[in-house]
A and B are shown apart, each in its own frame.
Chain A
Amino acid sequence: MSFLDLLSLDFMQRALVAALLTGLAAPAIGTFIVQRRLALLGDGIGHVAVTGVALGLLTGTSPTWTAVVVAVLGAVLMEVIRERGHTNGDVALALLFYGGLAGGVLITGIAGQGAATLQAYLFGSLNSISFTDVVFTAVLTVVVLVLTLGLSPQLFAVSSDQDFARVAGLRVRGYNLLIAVLAAVSITVAMRTVGLLLVSALMVVPVATSQQLARSFRATFVGAMLVGCVASVGGLLLSAALSFRVAVAPGPTIVLLALAMFTATWPIGVWMRRRSRLMAPFPEVTAAPHRSADEHVHEHGNDCGHPAVPHGDHVDYVHDGHRHAPHGEHYDEH
């Protein structure tokens, strides 16, 4: 069987649709989570959802449903702890992470299931996605996208400045809970493809990649969804191609592909930020004493290699830590 034959298989097509939806939903809510500087929130919810999956295995109900319920409850609990406790409440969140993971593994053991069953949920799986799962994933993705896009002005205001949003009359607690619940929902969406332990990466890494190049929130948001789709579909195909030789879960390949895209854009981002810092205009200060540069043999120009930085109505050339402004036949020190 060749790689292209693999694509014609039903389970593979279902997996691809699920991956595409995951790649859209996770970065969409992830952008607001990163904006709130809660990048690890997704990781915490993912760990708590392990207990949800285990409860599904124990009771014989669909692990997807129990994971949604437990993840939403965990997200709300984390939000309450964060709001009532310290501003970060990071230790409390960490306790919840470990509790979720340990509880999940314990309950799976009690249910009589081996680690292999749980592994499909922890790191994703190519062939465990049923048609119902795909429909379910599609519905949840639509909910996440409609709410994040439709409420983006409100979510942006709340994520960037809580005090300001509260005085503007927004129900900040409600929006915070909404962000946490949407994060929980997209984590359950991503569970089948990336897996619970790596799902947070799909919320954070595409955003980190996108913001290397983007200057606006909107561009970061759209770019993150694009990176998310490429990473999850590409990672899934990669894992399928590798499956002829070795058994690789799709989660690791998706995350590593996203990280590779970050690694590729990061140097460009560093260069762009350095350049914009160098070229930022100098402040205009009145009544600076006139000083001319001594014995200046070099002639500054457009392509002389020295950054020409705007300074009021002229430019200063940055030259060996000095600022040289053209003045008639010579250069002034500014």
Chain B
Amino acid sequence: MTPAGLPYDVTVPVVLDQVSVAIGGRPILRDVDLTVHAGDMVTLLGPNGSGKSTLVRALTGLLPVARGEVRLYGTPLDDFGDWQRVGFVPQRSTATGGVPATVREVVASGRVGRRRLLRPTSAADRRAVESALDVVGLADRASHGVSQLSGGQQQRVLIARALAGEPDLLVLDEPTAGVDLPNQQALADALRRLKERGATIVLVAHEIGPMMPLIDRTVVMRDGWVAYDGPPLTQEVASHTHHHPHEHDVPGGHDHAPHVSSPFDWERRNRP
């Protein structure tokens, strides 16, 4: 409910209302306001350490919000239960685990939010997986092992995994990092087809490249603030400070003592 007692608009996919996020007690995002409208594709740009990924992790509920409120489809994040409407492509995660898996198996795991417990795979599950493979152009590689694919193709597998859940809102954290141009083009084609279906897309990007014509709006982050929010910018305009190393290096990050001395330090596990 709004302060006036009215319900929030359930058609608006993402609202960040004066959101502040702290990691390990250090404020990272400060008073961020952001509204993403249905069907829009919004890119988040900004130098390293500006808080793009933190923002994305806060809006997917992976990081707790220190102050303010995140609402997805009009529901505050704590009460939000409709997670099958949200697709997520995490940053720098590899598609390979300790055990080999085929492309189809990894993509099929994207259905997990829509599956009921202890039920076999349904025809709808299979259709969604095939369609997701088709959208990213990997249908002919479905039975290949994921580890046989190049980095860019693995990134497309992760996008197909998110698409298999048939999300209305897709959140991608740096899907183009270290991806060659043909694969960037394939990513852009996949996102265009998703956008044509009416999905909302929030994209953190370092390189926009072939995705430029799809973008409706650009948000530039700087030092945890929204520095620009408006019509699309190219990354050259958006980030003159682009490759300056500016990481949030918290001192004493990793030593060799087991950290059981502070069992109440909840934030620690959430460090990205």
Given A36-B98, A164-B93, A169-B81, A92 and B260 contact (CB-CB distance below 8 Å)? yes
A91 to chain B: which residues have CB within 8 Å? 256-258
Q: How close is A97's CB to chain B, nearest CB, in angstroms?
A: 12
In chain B, residues 162-196, which have Cβ atoms closer than 8 Å to a Cβ of chain A? 162, 165, 171, 180, 182
Contact with B along A32-66 (1 / 0, CB 8 A): 00111101000000000000000000000000000
A167 to chain B: which residues have CB within 8 Å? 60-62, 83, 86, 88, 171
State in angstroms the CA–CA spacing of A31 and B259 once bound together. Answer: 28
Name the one of B84, B105, B117 contacting A156, with C-beta atoms under 8 angstroms. B105
Given A84-B259, A84-B269, A160-B109, A215 and B100 contact (CB-CB distance below 8 Å)? yes
A285 to chain B: which residues have CB within 8 Å? 182
A83 to chain B: which residues have CB within 8 Å? 269
> A113 on the interface (CB 8 Å rule)?
no
Q: Is the CB of B115 within 8 A of A36?
A: no
B interface bracket (residues with beta carbon within 8 Å of A): 35 or more
> B110 on the interface (CB 8 Å rule)?
yes
A283 to chain B: which residues have CB within 8 Å? 150, 180, 182
Q: Is the CB of A37 within 8 A of B97?
A: yes
> B127 on the interface (CB 8 Å rule)?
no
**Main SS class of interface, A:** helix
A85 to chain B: which residues have CB within 8 Å? 258-260, 268-269
From A84, A153, A207, residue with most partner B Cβ within 10 Å: A153
**Residue count of chain A within 8 Å CB distance of chain B:** 46
Contact with B along A162-191 (1 / 0, CB 8 A): 011111111000000000000000000000
- At the interface with chain B, which of A129-137, A216-224, A287-295, A296-304? A216-224
> A89 on the interface (CB 8 Å rule)?
yes
State in angstroms the CA–CA spacing of A320 and B22 once bound together. Answer: 56
In chain B, residues 103-158, which have Cβ atoms closer than 8 Å to a Cβ of chain A? 105-106, 108-113, 115, 117-118, 121, 143-145, 148, 150, 158
Chain A interface (Cβ within 8 Å of chain B)? Answer: 31, 34-37, 39, 81, 83-86, 89, 91-92, 95, 150-151, 153-154, 156-157, 159-161, 163-170, 207, 211, 214-218, 220, 276-277, 280, 283-285
State in angstroms the CA–CA spacing of A95 and B254 once bound together. Answer: 18
| A170 to B, closest residue via Cβ | B112
State in angstroms the CA–CA spacing of A153 and B90 once bound together. Answer: 19
Q: How close is B92's CB to chain A, nearest CB, in angstroms?
A: 11
Q: How close is A125's CB to chain B, nearest CB, in angstroms?
A: 32
Q: Is the CB of B90 within 8 A of A220?
A: no
Closest 3 CB pairs of A and B: A169-B83, A92-B258, A168-B113
> B9 on the interface (CB 8 Å rule)?
no
Q: Is the CB of A168 within 8 A of B112?
A: yes
Q: Is the CB of A160 within 8 A of B97?
A: yes
> B99 on the interface (CB 8 Å rule)?
yes
Q: How close is B250's CB to chain A, nearest CB, in angstroms?
A: 14
| A81 to B, closest residue via Cβ | B260
Q: Is the CB of A217 within 8 A of B62?
A: no
B83 to chain A: which residues have CB within 8 Å? 167-169
Name the one of A36, A89, A92, A217 contacting B105, with C-beta atoms under 8 angstroms. A217
